[in-house]
Amino acid sequence: MNYEHYFKHCIDKKSSFLCTGIDPDVSKFPAGFLKNVRGVYDFVHEIIQTTADLTAAYKFNLAFFEMWGWKGLQVLEKLLVEVPEDILLLADAKRGDIGNSSKFYAKALLEELPFHSATVSPYLGSDSIRPFIEDENKGAFVLCVTSNASGRELQEHGGDKPLYIRTAEIVRDLNEHHNLGLVMGATKPAQLLDVRRQFPDLPFLIPGVGSQGGGVDTALAVCRENGLGLINVSRGILYPSEGTFPDNVRQLAENYNQLFSNKDY
């Protein structure tokens, strides 16, 4: 099953566009978890056990593992093999380098580690993207309109054709294997709708819903248009403000699974 078909399969299997972000911040762990690399493993293991039947994808933020050095990468490897089938594994690594270096970043994430896809920065142009999409069974999401406020400083620069539109054009032109998509922040709905209108076939990875305050309705609408999208929630699932862990996490995941249904009623 190639990447495009597997992507769609994972969404259909859960009937939802939900992507659960794995951002294990030890300062936010509930009582009972060690605030070290062992605690990271125990916490994420519990999250996977609690939510795997509800989420179409897991987005692992590599910063929260790399901060622990080689021990963190060992934990990451162990956790990845524990994830059941029919869940897209996304490396939120935001890699972007010259072609030769990018080739080895792609090999590390998509061959040595069992990720299906990775986030990629386009600032160095198409050479930084191509190594991630040479295999039609693997894919990438390219940063286009990010959810953070200061992203506008570059992404909206350029007058009649802002940089984010040029980025989307490059992604469209490189998408021969249908294994490329765009990172589009829910906190910027006007740009989200603009890019969907101009690039109706590209999948979107949409962060910013939940703790960052991005709107659900627009995110859900653009995913339903082509059936290929993921709406990411990290802190809004991992760190509930009320209830007892892990039942409170389970309840939030169930709520988001239903809220992000891929059925357009």
103 part of the active site: no
Of the CA atoms within 13 Å of residue 101, those in its CB half-sphere come to 7
For the chain, the first-to-last Cα distance in angstroms comes to 29
Question: How many whole angstroms separate alpha carbon 95 and alpha carbon 106?
Answer: 9
Pairing of strands 229-233, 204-206: parallel
Q: Catalytic residue, from 8, 94, 161, 263: name it.
A: 94
The answer to whether the beta carbons of residues 17 and 31 sit under 8 Å apart is: no
Cross-strand pairs, 117: 90, 139
Q: Which uninterrupted H or E stretch holds 154?
A: helix 152-155
The answer to whether the beta carbons of residues 33 and 39 sit under 8 Å apart is: yes
Q: Which uninterrupted H or E stretch holds 100?
A: helix 99-107
Task: Look at residue 246 and give its three-state secondary structure.
Answer: coil
Question: How many whole angstroms separate alpha carbon 125 and alpha carbon 132?
Answer: 13
Question: How many whole angstroms separate alpha carbon 224 and alpha carbon 24?
Answer: 30
Question: How many whole angstroms separate alpha carbon 50 and alpha carbon 250?
Answer: 6
Task: Look at residue 72 and give its three-state secondary structure.
Answer: helix
Which active-site residues does the annotation give?
94
